[in-house]
Structure 1
């Protein structure tokens, strides 16, 4: 085998290994944040998740949104929660989509908007991978629908149909 061919074969292998090696510490940090959050060590969770969130990790973005939404180790700040939820929701994170729906439903950090709330709940229900999360989003959607006109529901469904996650 020629040296050129050997180098050509090694480059893809090295590239794959470097991606795997970079991903493992990111997962470890994310899990360290989960472990810290679970035991109530919110400062450590924040320290673990913030760099991941800033690098675009949807789970970390969602987790920071939850911390700011529910004042877990940080002052409650719905605007900051919304910012993190929006970034995770744009990547298709169903939990962030559901919680973003809640912010719109109750007007936390945004102008109250039932159409947007329904849209986000609908998107979350459609994109959830787990039955429990799908059920919660669908229940939220159906509950708010009881306070909406048929025209508002039609508008929200149209917005949900038009919504697309960011391409990675």
Structure 2
């Protein structure tokens, strides 16, 4: 039994174990993708800056639902002025309150 484990390790390090190669490559790819996750999260800001408010809303909403105060603050602003969504002061206040309760300074200032 012991020699079987040693043989598998030796095969892996010699590059002869294709299953472990696939696993290692898959793991490396997953880690690479996860490292870019924070960049994808900022896409709603880029859409907002390009005045693509519907896209900004679509990208920010899932993050806001998960508790991201910056995304919540943005949704509040979009609802307040009706950019990319139907103007809704109640929803604007709801998202502003959520962002403020998490310490978002601009949201706290807006609420007074």
TM over 0.5: yes
Count of residues in correspondence between the two structures: 80
- For 1:88 and 1:45, the matched residues in 2 are separated by 17
For the 8 Å contact 1:30–1:60, the answer to whether it is kept is no
The one of 59, 70, 75 aligned to 2:86: 75
Report what 1:84 is aligned to: 95
CA distance, structure 1, for counterparts of residue 98 and residue 42 of structure 2: 20
List alignment gaps of at least 5 residues for structure 1: 1-17, 101-119, 121-168
Which has the larger Rg?
2
Write the distance in 2 (CA, Å) between the matches of 1:70 and 1:28: 27
User: Would you identify which runs of 4 or more consecutive aligned residues in structure 1 move more than 2 Å?
Assistant: 27-30
CA contact (8 A) 1:32 1:48 kept: yes
* In 2: Cα distance, 1:90 partner to 1:30 partner: 21
Normalising by structure 1, what TM-score?
A: 0.44
Aligned runs of 1:101-140 on 2, under 5 Å?
120=112
Q: Distance in 2 between matches of 1:84 and 1:65?
A: 5
Equivalent residues in 2 for 1:10-159, closer than 5 Å: 21=34, 24-25=36-37, 27-100=38-111, 120=112
Deviation at 1:31, TM superposition (A): 1.6
Q: Give 5+ residue unaligned stretches, structure 2.
A: 1-30
Structural RMSD (CA): 1.7
Q: 1:113-167: CA deviations, max 9, x gaps?
A: xxxxxxx2xxxxxxxxxxxxxxxxxxxxxxxxxxxxxxxxxxxxxxxxxxxxxxx
CA contact (8 A) 1:68 1:76 kept: yes
Give yes or no for contact 1:34–1:45 (8 Å, CA) kept in 2: yes
Q: Is the 2:53–2:84 contact (alpha carbons within 8 Å) kept by the matching residues of 1?
A: yes
d(CA) in 2 for partners of 1:30, 1:71 = 22
